[in-house]
Amino acid sequence: MKKLQRILKMQCNIDKKLIRRDMISKRKQMHISKVRENSDIILESFIDLNLDYKTVMCYLDFSNEVITKEFVSYFKINGYILTVPVCDDNNMFAAKFNDLDEFKVSKLGVLEPENPELIDSNLIDLCIIPGVAFDKQGNRVGYGKGYYDKFLRNKKTIKVAICHDFQLIDDIIQSDDNDVKMDYIITEKRVLKL
């Protein structure tokens, strides 16, 4: 039985690698004007959900992900406590976002505060989550390091994935006990509550 589980897990990893490669390639081909247009629509749909939260973690986008600059502005203007992800080699942490922070590009290629002020991750009510692909059951393909899965495991945080509509696939993404499902997926064309 354990051998079968190992084989299935290896197949799952291969499938995720193929999905990851294909979706990143498609996303890189997007024109920035389309990325901006999609991002504006996705922000409006998120606001329309009227979710109940006080402390939020929001990723800082790169490489044609849904742009989060306006999300950050919305959270700050409306008085939410805003955090951004900071990663070391194995784990992700929540760092308080301050307007005066100086940012650096991490070894993962994303922006993060140069001198992060970490907060207790259990205080985060809602997390805006990037991904490479999602299915309609709330499964996610990330970049392969498992940062968000480890960070969100056993937390009551509302998990909101934002992505371009082509990243929401019809096929079911194989998952295991380590994978955390999304509560909402928002694209420029639809909102899924899972």
Instruction: Tell me, rounded to whole angstroms, the distance of Cα 44 from its chain centroid.
Output: 17
Ranked by mean pLDDT, which of 27-31, 102-106, 107-111 comes out on top? 27-31
Residue 104 belongs to what domain range? 2-193
Domain count for the chain, please give it: 1
Domain with residue 165: its CATH number is 3.40.50.10420
Task: Give 43 or 8, the one with higher predicted confidence.
Answer: 43
Give me the pLDDT at residue 2, please: 53
Provide the whole-model pTM: 0.89
Pairing of strands 191-193, 184-186: antiparallel
> How confident is the model over 150-187, as pLDDT tens digits?
999 989 999 999 999 999 999 989 888 889 999 999 99
The full 3-state SS of the chain, as one line of letters, equals CHHHHHHHHHHHHHHHHHHHHHHHHHHHCCCHHHHHHHHHHHHHHHHHHCCCCCEEEECCCCCCCCCCHHHHHHHHHCCCEEEEEEECCCCEEEEECCCCCCEEECCCCCEEECCCCEECHHHCCEEEECCCEEECCCCEECCCCCHHHHHHCCCCCEEEEECCHHHEECCCCCCCCCCCCCCEEECCCCEEEC
Helix axes 69-77, 32-49, angle to 10 degrees: 30
Tell me which of 151 and 13 has the higher pLDDT: 151
